[in-house]
Amino acid sequence: MGARGGEAVRRGNGEGREIRAARNQALFRAVNEEITKLNKAFGAVADKHAIACECADTSCIEMLEISPDEYGAVRRHPRRFPVLPAHVYPEVERVVAERDGYVVVEKLGVAGEVAEATNLAQHG
The per-residue pLDDT for range 18-73, each reduced to its tens digit, is 787 787 788 888 888 887 777 666 655 667 888 899 998 888 999 999 988 899 99
Task: Give a yes or no: residue 112 inside a domain.
Answer: yes
Residue 12: what pLDDT?
A: 54
Residue 23: what pLDDT?
A: 79
CA neighbor of 53 nearest in space, from 69, 71, 39: 71
> What pLDDT, in 10s, does the model give residues 75-124?
999 999 999 999 999 988 999 999 999 999 999 999 899 989 987 756 65
CA neighbor of 79 nearest in space, from 108, 52, 54: 108
Task: Give a yes or no: residue 2 inside a domain.
Answer: no
pLDDT (mean) for 4-20: 62
3-state SS, residue 16: helix
Task: Give a yes or no: residue 37 inside a domain.
Answer: yes
Task: Give a yes or no: residue 67 inside a domain.
Answer: yes
Task: Give a yes or no: residue 16 inside a domain.
Answer: yes
Residue 36: what pLDDT?
A: 74
What gap in Å lies between CA 99 and CA 64, rounded to an integer?
11
Q: How many domains does the chain have?
A: 1
Task: Give a yes or no: residue 109 inside a domain.
Answer: yes
The boundaries of the domain holding residue 82 are 7-123
Element (H, E) at 28: helix 14-41
Task: Give a yes or no: residue 1 inside a domain.
Answer: no
Which residues are CB-contacts of 62 (< 8 A; sequence separation ≥ 6)?
52, 53, 84, 87
